[in-house]
Structure 1
Amino acid sequence: MKLTSHQNMKIFIFLLLSSHFAFSVKHSLKYISTASSGLPDFPEFVVAAVVDDNLVAFCNGNKKIIDLKHDWVKKVLEDDPHQLELYKGLCFQWEPTFFKAEINGLTQRFNQSGGVHILQRISGCEWDDETGEIVGFNQFGYDGEDFISIDLKTETWIAPKPEAVITKLGWDADKARMKYNQNYLTVIYPEWLKKYVDYGRSFLLRTELPSVSLLQKTPSSPVSCLATGFYPHRASLVWRKDGEELHEEVDHGEILPNHNGTFQMSVDLNLSSVTPEDWTRYDCVFQLSGVKEEIITKLEKDRIRTNWVKPSNMTVLVTAAVVVLVLILSGAAGFIDYNKKKAITPPSSPDNSTELSEQLNPET
């Protein structure tokens, strides 16, 4: 099946935002570089900057334009030209060439020929503005699996696959590279993250409550509780019976991005063994981090919105359609999903890009 460029962008944004949806109060900064081969309708190289799981900057390696998503991001870069130079290097200079060489080398190392291949690097940090704790993270992933990541505590690299051992040995021996990583991940990136949070406070620290609906496809289908339009993504959605949270007969969906910067999530309840008389004992509860009030939706038949009524009265729910579409796209993007790991290596300086390529691809 050939995907349109619009569909491909949806896949990328889902991948981008699904990489870290843990329930956390920490701020985060990520630089995500993604290279692909075998996808004619998808850019060969894209880079994104993400703050608190919000896309703040994006560039396509084939276009010499950096797309800044908010005015406050422009102010950050005007105040800190170092970051703008980093974006340029990641998007248009050493990074695209480096990644193309790495994919070519890795296909040889894994004894692959043709097909679709994805190499992704995520580097960044998390910062707790209450405790001051800083955690840096780096990781390469190849074709949907971890390839190599850094351990700042032991000052070594972790190679979960045999094919990555040769890279680990070379990078472990390079003490200057380790110091370079430590400086970016624990000093430079945290400074930049604090600046983003300061300049974008009104956007990043806002709260928006969702609308909550009950949906059902057919009379025998589970009842889905859908919350959409909330921010931030730190939220919970559960089904309760007699005030107690249910862990069986429920299916929790992912937290997914909406086009307007808010999020949506759903949780299904299987009613196959529940009598109609017991429906009133169930309710769906949404809780947003930092907001005391809960949104409680009782399980009542007249509240359920469905598309199995007779055609003349059929209501097609746009929100439900969006959920289905994103889930389909997430399946297509599964081969580049990092299992919600924390992720990848800080951008290499131009002087080191050739050296990195040789270490990843010794045969070249």
Structure 2
Amino acid sequence: MRTLLLLLLCCHASSPGKHSLKYFFTALSGLPDFPEFVAAAVVDENLVVHCDGSKKLIELKHDWVEKVLEKDPHHMELYSAGCYEQEPVAFQATISDFKLRLNQSGGVHILQRMSGCEWDDETGEVVGFQQYGYDGEDFMSLDLTTETWTTPKPQAVITKLRWDAEIHTIKSYKYFLTTIFPEWLKMYVAFGRSFLLRTELPSVSLLQKTPSSPVSCLATGFYPHRASLVWRKDGEELHEEVDHGEILPNHDGTFQMSVDLDVSSVTPEDWSRYDCVFQLDGVAEDIVTKLEKDRIRSNWVKPSEKTAPISAAVVLLALTLIGTAGFIVYRKTKVKPTEETVPITAAVLALTFICAAGFIVHKKKKDKRRAL
């Protein structure tokens, strides 16, 4: 089962020549410190509209989105209704229904719906989709071919049958998913063409935590998200020794991805046979990064280099404290307890710590000069 995060980032990933419009509606129950309802519109994996139902706030993420709403005022009316009028109430009712079907009495629960479409600007093909996720798992999805709901949860069969009987509602969903949403998507692409159809190449780095860790090839800052990142050996793509990461969004609207290579069995002589290759849709030239030790970035430091100065300082401090303790004991045996012994003891302790601190600073400066 996919989690809600995977549902948000990965479902219906666009392929070359295709564009996507997705609406995410999220309702929470049992969590008073968080908004009960939020929604978002995403075009080609770019957030374009965000809504906070509790604040009744709709935020447009790009200037060109305003042109879309100006061209179709009804568009904005539907956003308002979906953000803080109809949908919040409907979602809380749906959560109550799901809790009843799953025999849940309390606790924190999350309901998310993803609605939208894909449009192929080359063939004109349109695919609509609508599905629900509940508490991190797939719960219900609409099959537009049969015009019925499907569910992997046996407890949700009663809800599925009831929803199947609402034929007019299903017809309305289908009309929006296959007619209205594609029209909106085409407007978004038309007005946001310079932003949505741009190309940005990434920076590619080789990273490694420790000398025995896998070498990670990280590509970040690329757009669009239709890209691939692979490790090759002698020009052939590797599959067994690698671990592919997912494509993730950056805060600036670009994307990042990584792929790890297990180098534990790679001999030093064979390193030159490996390279990491990044490919971006629409760009003919690949970015090739050779597997070379001097290209690998790491903040790893040998344990001996980190512990040696500290160990020496600890030893000196321990010896000094032992000497101080001996002096105090000696004083107590030779001098009668008076008020004068307290200042003497305090002074000796202060002097001890000053000497220890001075040694530590001196040791660090000395090691730094050696390193340089």
TM range (shorter): 0.7 to 0.9
Work out the CA distance in 1 between the residues paired with 2:25 and 2:36. 11
CA distance in 2, matches of 1:180, 1:152: 11
Task: Give the Cα–Cα distance (whole angstroms) in 2 for the partners of residues 102 and 229 of structure 1.
Answer: 39
Within a 5 Å distance, the mapping from 1:338-349 to structure 2 comes to none
Q: Secondary structure in 2 aligned to 1:268?
A: strand
Conservation of the 8 A alpha-carbon contact between 1:18 and 1:256: no
Residues 14, 118 of structure 2: 8 Å contact kept? no
Matching residue of 1:256: 248
- Please tell me whether residue 49 in structure 1 is matched to residue 32 in structure 2: no
CA–CA distance in structure 1, aligned partners of residues 123 and 231 of structure 2: 33
Q: Which has the higher helix share?
A: 2
SS in 1 for 2:50: strand
Q: How does 1:199-218 map to 2 (within 5 A)?
A: 199-218=191-210
SS in 1 for 2:194: helix
Q: CA deviation at 1:20?
A: 4.3
C-alpha distance after superposition, 1:248-305 (max 9, x if no partner): 1100011111000000000000001111110000000000011110000000000000
Tell me which residue corresponds to 2:352: none
Q: Is the 8 A contact 1:21 1:233 kept in 2?
A: no
- Paired residue type of 1:166: I
Residue type of the alignment partner of 1:290: G
**Aligned position for 1:61:** 53
Which residue of structure 1 lines up, in the alignment, with residue 101 of structure 2?
A: 109
Which protein is bigger by CA-based radius of gyration? 2
**TM-score when normalising by structure 1:** 0.79
Aligned to 1:78: 70
Aligned position for 1:299? 291
Moved more, 104-113 or 78-87: 104-113
Percent identity between matched residues is: 74
Please report the TM-score for the alignment, with normalisation by the length of structure 2: 0.77
| Amino acid in the other structure paired with 1:16 | L
Residues 7-59 of structure 1 show CA distances to partners (whole Å, capped at 9, x for unaligned) of xxxx9988633444464531011111001123344322100001011000001
Q: Supply the distance in 1 between the matched residues of 2:288 and 2:89 (Cα, whole angstroms).
A: 52
Contact 1:236 1:287 in 2 (8 A): yes
- C-alpha separation in 1, matches of 2:233 and 2:31: 47
Which residue of the partner structure matches residue 267 of structure 1? 259
Q: Which one-letter code corresponds to 1:220 in the other structure?
A: S
Paired positions, count: 303
Deviation at 1:86, TM superposition (A): 1.1
CA distance change for structure 1 residues 23 and 276 in 2, over 3 Å: closer, same or farther?
Answer: farther
Q: What is the aligned-residue RMSD (CA, Å)?
A: 2.0
Give the Cα separation in 2 of the matches to 1:24 and 1:170.
39
The letter of the residue matching 2:87 is E
Gaps of 5+ in 1: 1-10, 315-364
Question: Which protein has greater RCO, CA pairs closer than 8 Å, 6+ apart?
Answer: 1
Q: Distance in 2 between matches of 1:258 and 1:159?
A: 33
Alignment of 1:135-150 (within 5 A): 135-150=127-142
1:185-334 aligned within 5 A = 185-309=177-301
Residue aligned with 2:252, SS: coil
**CA separation of 1:115/1:24 partners in 2, compared to 1, >3 Å: closer, same or farther?**
farther
